[in-house]
Structures are given as structure tokens and as C-alpha cells.
Structure 1
Amino acid sequence: MLIEYKKLFKNKNFYLSGFALVLIVVIAVLIGVTEHYEEYRLTERIYNQHYEKHIVEDVLIFVSPHKQWLGFSNNFASQLYYLIFPLLISIALADSIFRERKSGYQHFIFMRMDRRKYYTTKFATTFPTAFFMFVLPLCLGVILVNLFTDHWDYTSYATSYKGLVNGTIYLPDTIFQGDIRSLFSDLLSISPYLYTVVFYIIGGLFASVYVCMGLAFSMFIKNYYLLIFTPQIIYTSIWFLAVKEPALAPFFFISPSPGVVGVSLSIIVSEFLLQILFTLVIYFIGIRKHADVL
């Protein structure tokens, strides 16, 4: 696996992909932080005109900077990240086998390494690398939002959120009822960090599956550009096919945003298992297809 990572770090597409992901995160953070301060000032001004200071303070707790972390925020850059991540990560990883087969380097490898080990190593390298390429820029986004807003402790929000869910906190209107999550709500009442990490992990796992799908299809597809776009096409196609049942589309449940009605843990787990099974089947068929390669 060490050799695979050495080849990865020499691949200029790896850095191009990473740069694109980080750039989108930075844009999303800048937009999000600006929106946070605007919302905070507007909320403070409006509620100060009609309510006592302690009520205003309770309300302002819900105008929390964590709502500008990627996945929480609905700004276009945050949405864009969750829309095109399969394509951006595939640029770095999905064509690994394709390039080595086309260049003839694969013949050289098979003279020195068992083909089963070769394909196992490829998959075992691609899966975690795709996971971290998806998750690490998002974690950078959390750090940047916290730095720009100078806000790191979200204990007060978690406490107030728990009161909102239990109906033990008084708010002058119902505008913040939209904060209540149907999935993993207990985690949010402990800490936004914990809640967000769970969704970033879920997103990372799905990112790994889609990129590995590209790796599997690379043993059948002969056009480079079609190969790179294949994970994105599959990801987007599921979205369109699930138009009547949007809860089945990963786009709506891999981020910390409220998503759509009907999303459940069973749907997330089932869809992940089905997609990883599909990926492995295609991968093994591809290995057998190229069994005659020296």
C-alpha cells in the first residue's frame, strides 16, 4: 500500500482535486461567515425592539456559527461541494487501474506481484483515501468558521437545543422549530461537533463507495473522461430516479442539514450496503475479465 500512496502523491491530479475541494470549502466559509454576521445583527435588532434582554440572549444562541459549517449551510458553495464531490475526488483516484493498464505498467507489476494482491491493494488504498479527501476539507471548513467567528464552545447551543426539543425553553415565536432534527437529534443535544462528525463520516463512506465504483468500472470503460464522470453520473442518476422518494437519494442524507422527510438510519445503512455490494460485484467481474493479463 505504501507504493500506491507514493504513486498517488506523484499524481498531479491528486493535488488538482484537493485544491478544488478546498477552494469550494473556503468560498463556502466566506459566504457563510458573512451571512452569519448579517443574520445575527438583524435578529438582535428586531428582537431588541420587542423583548427583554434575557429573551433576546436566548434567541441569539440559536443564531449559532455552526450553522455555517458545510452541510449545515445552504449557501451555493456548500451545496456545490455535496453535489460534485464524486467527480472531484474521482479525478484523483478513479483512473488508477485505467492508467496503469493503458500505459502497459500493469504488465510489469504482474511480473512482480500476484494479481489478487494488486487489485486488493488498489481497492484498499482508494477507499480510505477517498474518505479522507471528502472529510478533511469539511473539517477545515469547521475550523475556519470557528476562527472567523471566534466561536469554539457550543455547549450553550446544545443545552438550548435540548430545551427546544423538550419544550422547556421559552422562545417568542416558532421560527427556530426548524432546527429540530428527526435523525440523530440526541447527538445534537450533546454537541454540534458530535452530530456533524457522524454525518461527515456517513458522507465520507458514500464518497468512498462512489469513487470505488469508478475504480471498478475502469476495467470496462475505455474512455478516460467517461470513466472520471461515471461516479458523478451514478450519484446524480440516483437523485433523479428517486424523485418520488427523495429520502432514498444520498444527496439528501449525507449532510448535517435537515434533509427531506422520511430519511432514516435504516435507509442510510441499507443503501450503503447495497452500493458497496454492487461495487464489489462489478470489481470482481472486472478482475475476472482481465484474468488473462500477464
Structure 2
Amino acid sequence: MLIEYKKLFKNKNFYLSVCALILLVVIAVVIGLNEHNEEYLLTERIYSQYYEEDIVEDVLIFISPHKQWLGFTNNFPSDLYYFLYPLLISIALVDSIYRERKSGYQHFIFMRIDRRKYYTSKFATTFLTAFFMFVLPLCLGVVLVNLFTHHWDYTAYANVYKAFVEGTLAIPDNAISVFKGDIQPLFSDLLSMSPYAYVAVFYIIGGLFASAYVCMGLALSMFIKNYYLLIFMPQIIYTSLWFLAANNPKWAPFYFLAPEGIHGDNSISIMIIEFLLQLLLTFAIYVIGMRKHDDVL
């Protein structure tokens, strides 16, 4: 795998992918910070006119900076990140076997190492790299939001959220209707502990799906001869599922991978089923592709 990473770090497409992902994160953070400041000041001005200070403080805790982390916020760059990640990560990773087969480099490699080791190393490197390429820019977004809002401790929000879910929080009725959408049907206990724990689970799940999509592209690279079709294939599959699930969005990864999710429809069982089916199909295509190219020296 070390050799694979050396080749990856020499690939200019890898840096292109990373820069594109980080650019979306930075834009989303800038827009999110502006929205956060406006919402906080507006809420403070409205509620301070009619309610006591302690009630206003509880309400303002709901205007938490963590809602501007990517996946929590629904601003356009954040949604675009979750929509385009299969393509942006694929640019760096899915064509590694394709390029080496087309250039004849595979012949040289198979003279030095066992082909099974070669394909295993390719798959493992792609899976791990895709995971971190998806997750790390999102973590950067968390750090940037916290850094510019000077807010790192979300204990107060977790406590207020827990009381709100349990119905023991004394806030105005109009605030209850506004923040009712904060209640998450899935992993709500984690959000009651900390937004960090909650978002970590969704970022990990998203990273696993990113790995599965990109590895499927890697598997298909042993059959697809057109470079551009190959690069776009994970995105095509991802987008196709989005359209097919238009009437039942709980089955579309685009909707359930983000921490905000679809209220009332998120299901861990659907996530597990889709991920395992996708991984099994990817393995099957990959093994068939290995056998298809057994004649390579």
C-alpha cells in the first residue's frame, strides 16, 4: 500500500480533488457564518423585547454555531459537497488500474508481485483514501466554524436539547415551533451528549458510502474503456439512485448521509442494507474484472 500512496501523491488529480473539496467547505463555512450571525442577532433582538433574560439565553443556545457545520446547514455549497463528492473523489482515484493497464505498467508490476496482492492493495488504498478524502474536509469545516465563532464547547446546547426533547425546557411556544425541527429521529441520544458525537457518526457513515461508490468505480474500470465515462460512473450511479428514490427519498443516500437528514424517515437499517448491497456488488464486479484480465502477464 505504501507504493500505492507514493503513486497517489504524485498524481496531480489527487490535489485537484482535494482542492475542490476544500474550496466547497470554505465557501460553505463563509456563507454559514454570515447566516449564523444574522440569525443570532435577529433572535436576540426579537426575544429580548418580550421575555426575561434567562429565557432569552435558553433560546439563543439553540442558535448554535454547530448548525453551520457542513451537513447540518442546508446552504448551497454544503448541499453541493454532498451531491458531488462521488465525482470529486473519483477524479483522484478510480482510474489507477485503468491508467496502469493502458500504459502497460501492469505487465511490469505483475513480473514483480502477485496479481492478487496488486488488486488487494489497489482496493484497500482506494477505500481508505476515499474515506478520508470525504471526512477530513468536513472536519476542517467544523474547525473553521468553531475557530471563527470562538465556540468549542457545546455542552450547553446538548443539555438544552435534551431538556427540549424531554419536554422539560421552559421556552415560549413560538420558539418551540421554530426549534421543533432540531429534534433528530436518528441518533438523538448522541446529540443529547454532544453535537461532536452526533456529527462524527454521520461523517463516518458518509465516508463509508464515499468509499463504496469510488471502489465501485475502480471495479468498473476493468470493463469501461472510456476515461471520462469511468470518472463520472460513481456520480452517475449516485445520481441515478437519487432520481429512482424521488418518491421515497429515505432510500436515497443524498438525503440520509448528511447530519440534518430527513426528519422522521432516517433509518439505520436502510443505511446498512444499502451499504452492504453496494459493497457486495462492488466485490463481485471487482473479482469478475480480475478474472477477466487473468491473461495479463
Output the CA distance in 2 between the equivalents of 1:146 and 1:56. Answer: 22
| Contact 2:95–2:230 (CA under 8 A) maintained in structure 1 | yes
User: Which of 163, 184, 189 is the matching residue for 2:187?
Assistant: 184
Q: Give the match for residue 29 of structure 1.
A: 29
| Contact 1:246–1:260 (CA under 8 A) maintained in structure 2 | no
Aligned counterparts, 1:19-98, within 5 A = 19-98=19-98
Aligned counterparts, 1:226-241, within 5 A = 226-241=229-244
Q: Give the match for residue 271 of structure 1.
A: 274
| Contact 1:247–1:260 (CA under 8 A) maintained in structure 2 | no
Instruction: Give the C-alpha shift of residue 52 in structure 1.
Output: 1.2
User: Which of 213, 216, 223 is the matching residue for 2:219?
Assistant: 216
Cα-to-partner distance string for 1:200-224 (whole Å, 9 max, x where unaligned) = 0000000000000110000000011
Q: Give the match for residue 117 of structure 2.
A: 117
Output the CA distance in 1 between the equivalents of 2:68 and 2:271. Answer: 24
Cα-to-partner distance string for 1:238-284 (whole Å, 9 max, x where unaligned) = 11111121100011111100325422111111110000001101111
Runs of 4+ in structure 1 off by over 4 angstroms are none
Output the CA distance in 2 between the equivalents of 1:151 and 1:262. Answer: 31
The percent of aligned pairs where both chains have the same amino acid is: 74
| Contact 1:247–1:261 (CA under 8 A) maintained in structure 2 | no
Output the CA distance in 1 between the equivalents of 2:266 and 2:27. Answer: 29
Q: Give the match for residue 160 of structure 1.
A: 160
1:260–1:233: structure 2 CA closer, same or farther, 3 Å change rule? farther
User: Which of 202, 205, 217 is the matching residue for 2:205?
Assistant: 202
Q: Give the match for residue 249 of structure 1.
A: 252
Partner SS, residue 97 of structure 1: helix
Cα-to-partner distance string for 1:153-201 (whole Å, 9 max, x where unaligned) = 0000000000010001012122111100000000000000000000000
Output the CA distance in 2 between the equivalents of 1:71 and 1:11. Answer: 29
TM-score scaled by structure 2? Answer: 0.98
Output the CA distance in 2 between the equivalents of 1:104 and 1:18. Answer: 28
Q: Give the match for residue 283 of structure 1.
A: 286
Query: How large is the Cα RMSD of the aligned pairs?
Result: 0.7
Output the CA distance in 2 between the equivalents of 1:156 and 1:2. Answer: 44
| Contact 1:219–1:286 (CA under 8 A) maintained in structure 2 | yes
Partner SS, residue 170 of structure 1: coil
Partner SS, residue 107 of structure 2: helix
Cα-to-partner distance string for 1:27-54 (whole Å, 9 max, x where unaligned) = 0000001100000000001111111111
Output the CA distance in 1 between the equivalents of 2:274 and 2:109. Answer: 35
